[in-house]
Amino acid sequence: MKQIKYITAGLIMFSFVLAACGHHRDDDDRRDGKRDQHDGNWRGRRDIPAGSVGTQTPAIPSVVEVKVTESHKGDPANVPAGYSPMPRIGEMAPSFKAVTTQGEIQFPEQFAGSWVIFFSHPADFTPVCTSEFITFASLMGEFDKLNTKLVGLSVDGLYSHIAWLRTIKEKIEYRGHKNVEVTFPLIEDISMEVAKKYGMIQPGESKTKAVRAVFVIDPKGMVRAIIYYPLSLGRNFDELVRVIQALQTADAFSVATPADWRPGDDVIVPPPGSCGTAKERMEAQTDITCKDWFFCTKKIDKEKVLSTILKK
């Protein structure tokens, strides 16, 4: 019996030694930048506080890094748990079919050839959202001249949408606008499927309401701009109009637009691609004004800009 006890005690001691060695090896790997055993990615060298080596397992980070490969795209079954996809600028807008206050839509295919402001709001029958919808509806004529359609979304149901929009028309006045009828589509998204597809649910702000997201989508269905607002902050509609005008101007004239640009202001000429071109630009007598080789502007008349981007 004594021999069995000695053998058992020896095995337990050996297990502790192996565990300690494992901690030392893991700490050395983390310090020197080894391959992570969970996702196969290499991690860079990082310092470990003195006294921590071999004494405790490193704390689990509060944010888990999720590596998404090309194979995940288009197949929800391959998306890692906890990953919430969100379209990025320069990518095609994710496609979906939805029920709206204006009937069923296929987005964005149904709007091909037009610019689209696709936006979300937190909830029906709320004051900030009500002020925004009245403003959106009052600006529909201006957006239409810019060949731009509006599509809204919240996680409320269709009948809630209809009742809310009727209330807006019959009872609510905001900044001189009253009897306003909202005629653009408002998507029913009770399942939050579309909101999650576009990253409109921000758990740190709310797990059950969409934030005030804005996606500007061009006539080819590509995301060109993204603007996010928290629940408490109503959108700046002058800025939304300016964004559409600026993007269309940049496309039409192959230029960029500086801070606070408005139609008629100077535009930015793209930087030269070589030293020779830079020198020629600085020395040439043209309609381009250069403060330095990389900062050059030119004038485009407001009338020319508007006659180009507005619908005839």
Task: Say yes or no to pLDDT of 48 above 50.
Answer: no
> How confident is the model over 185-226, as pLDDT tens digits?
999 999 999 999 999 999 999 999 999 999 999 999 999 999
Pairing of strands 96-100, 103-107: antiparallel
Task: Say yes or no to pLDDT of 137 above 60.
Answer: yes
Given this model, what pLDDT does residue 13 score?
Answer: 46
Given this model, what pLDDT does residue 252 score?
Answer: 97
3-state secondary structure of 60: coil
Task: Count other C-beta atoms under 10 Å from residue 17's C-beta.
Answer: 10
Which is more confident, 16 or 247?
247
Task: Say yes or no to pLDDT of 24 above 50.
Answer: no
> How confident is the model over 244-266, as pLDDT tens digits?
999 999 999 999 999 999 999 99
How does DSSP classify residue 123? -
C-alpha to C-alpha distances, 251 to 101, 103, 222, 307, nearest whole angstrom: 33, 32, 13, 14
Lowest-confidence range among 72-86, 113-127, 130-144, 218-232? 72-86
43-51: average pLDDT: 41
Report the chain's mean pLDDT, rounded to a whole number. 81
Given this model, what pLDDT does residue 274 score?
Answer: 77
Give the DSSP H/E element, type plus range, for residue 104.
strand 103-107
Which is more confident, 79 or 269?
269
Given this model, what pLDDT does residue 285 score?
Answer: 63
φ, ψ of residue 298 to 5 degrees: the values are -150, 160
Share of the chain above pLDDT 90, in %: 64
- CATH 3.30.1020.10 segments of the chain: 254-309
3-state secondary structure of 308: helix
Residues in the chain, how many?
Answer: 312
Share of the chain above pLDDT 70, in %: 72
- CATH 3.40.30.10 segments of the chain: 96-244
217-241: average pLDDT: 97
Task: Say yes or no to pLDDT of 8 above 70.
Answer: no
Contact 114, 107 (CB under 8 A): no
Taking CB atoms within 8 Å and a gap of at least 24, the contacts of 254-263 are 255/298, 255/300, 258/297, 263/302, 263/305, 263/306
CATH code: domain 96-244 is 3.40.30.10
Choosing from 129, 275, 290, 296, the catalytic residue is 129
For residue 187, give the nearest of 288, 105, 248 by alpha carbon.
105
Query: CATH fold of 254-309, please?
Result: Antioxidant, Horf6; Chain A, domain 2 (3.30.1020)
Any catalytic annotation for residue 21?
no
- Which amino acid, one-letter code, is at 146? L
Q: What is the distance in angstroms between the CA of the first residue and the CA of the last residue of the chain?
A: 100
Task: Say yes or no to pLDDT of 64 above 50.
Answer: no
136-161: average pLDDT: 97
Given this model, what pLDDT does residue 18 score?
Answer: 43
